[in-house]
Amino acid sequence: MKRRAGNPFPGVTRVVDRHGKARWRFRMKGVPGTYLQGEYGSVEFRRAYDAAVAGTTALVAPSRHQYGTFDWLIEHYRRSPKWKKLRPISQLNLGKEFDRFSTLHGKKRVAALRTDHVEAIIGKKADTPAAANRLLKLLRRLCRFAIRKKLIVVDPTIDVERYQENPDGFHTWTEAEILQFEEYHGVSSKAVLALRLILNTGAARQDVIRLGWQSTGEGRIAYRRLKTGGDVDLPILDELAEVLRPLPTNRLLFVTHTGDRAYKPTTFGNWFHDQCVDAGLPHCSSHGLRKAGATRLADAGATELEIMAYLGHRTPDEARTYTKKANRKRLGDTGMEKVARAKREQGLSNRVERLDIHRRKVLKEKGN
């Protein structure tokens, strides 16, 4: 009788999932179980098997997408420790970017991506440089992860240049624009309440919609930024106290939808921009108010650490931008003042010299 050949991959069994698709499951005593990717016996399969035997993988659900595609890569990125370390708001925003990219390119193979492809993909957003650069950043994130997953060896985005964009980013509100907004809407309006909350707390849109009386105490307002996790604790200035005073004391949220419903960050951002448009300020945004608040601090002589505390950042890098601008402005003022003082002194010297000439002339005439 012919002997049956032994299993070349001990611990591997064939299973059929609920969709009727065959999967290869690895189970062995002392190591985590897992599903192996790739065709049975392929290079990818053998690599996955060796990793499983070494105990470097844990039991995960089989992939819903074809191996090597961007959909597959994104799915595995969402399972990675790197994804799990992101804050919920970052997962939400990055997830939306993944979904948009997947709709257009999800079925394409990562290994087929070349530098000219990357340039063409981001080139479709050339009219909006900031959006093009965000897409490039997303592709670089995926390509670095693809290298770790052994899908590619070289990052095709590495030589792709970023688009030149406005170095100042969102427009920073001027004091005249703040006054124009308040005069149009009125101090008792929800629009001005939102403006002064952002301006006096440095809250981003995802933070300002969570502020309420529970955030205040002993003349101060405090919250934790969702994006950075940084704690913000500031005194309530008079202009903020003016718009908070009329609000009911049992109000958990200062700024709400109709019917006291909570805003979502995107919905609040859209609503606030509509208020800007109505006030004749279509170029202004809620984020620009954070920058205006930081600019106020810098112009008043605040240090980088003081501005960092206002913005809720963990490092003073961003705050340094505002102090540098304020210092340039002050240095420009003192420099021009020196020029003006020199001109005044020069004018005085010329007048004295002309007076001396006149006196010498008069004395000479008297001597004759």
* DSSP state letters, 232-260: EEEE--HHHHHHHTTS-TT-S-SS--TTS
Q: So what's the pLDDT on residue 363?
A: 58
Residue 322: CB atoms within 10 A of its CB come to 24
- Which pLDDT score, from 0 to 100, does residue 347 have? 66
Structure tokens at 105: 């390119």
Distance CA 79, CA 58 (A): 11
Strand ranges across the sheet with 12-16: 12-16, 22-28, 31-36
- Pick left, alpha or beta for residue 311 (phi over 0 → left; psi -120 to 50 → alpha; otherwise beta): alpha
Q: What is the pLDDT of residue 222?
A: 95
Dist CA 90 CA 302 (whole Å): 30
Return d(Cα 171, Cα 325) in angstroms, integer. 15
pLDDT attached to residue 209: 94
Instruction: Give the span between the Cα atoms of 204 and 265, in whole angstroms.
Output: 9
What pLDDT, on a 0 to 100 scale, did the predictor assign at position 52? 82
Residue span(s) of the chain under CATH 1.10.150.130 come to 63-165
Q: Indicate the SS3 state at residue 210.
A: coil
User: What is residue 213's DSSP assignment?
Assistant: G
At 5 the pLDDT is 59
Report residues of the chain scoring pLDDT below 50.
1, 58-59
**Rounded distance between C-alpha atoms, residue 209 and residue 254, angstroms:** 7
What is the rounded distance in angstroms from the CA atom of residue 92 to the CA atom of residue 96? Answer: 6
Contact 226, 87 (CB under 8 A): yes
pLDDT the model gives residue 344? 76
Tokens of 242: 């003016």
Question: What is residue 220's predicted lDDT score, i.e. its pLDDT?
Answer: 95
Cα 38 to Cα 60, 149, 164: the distances in Å are: 15, 13, 42
* Cα separation, 90 vs 113, whole angstroms: 26
Nearest to 66 by CA among 101, 27, 38, 100: 38
Domain with CATH 1.10.443.10 in the chain: 175-320
> Quick one: which H or E segment has residue 34?
strand 31-36
What pLDDT sits at residue 180?
96
Nearest to 68 by CA among 36, 31, 111: 111
CA 328 – CA 334 distance, rounded (Å)? 10
Collapsing DSSP to helix, strand or coil, 256 comes out as coil
- Which pLDDT value is given to residue 351? 58
Name the architecture of domain 175-320: Orthogonal Bundle (1.10)
- Say how far apart CA 15 and CA 304 lie, in whole Å: 60
The pLDDT of residue 63: 63
Q: What is the pLDDT of residues 322-340, one digit of tens each?
A: 777 766 667 677 777 877 7
Q: Give me the architecture of the 63-165 domain, per CATH.
A: Orthogonal Bundle (1.10)
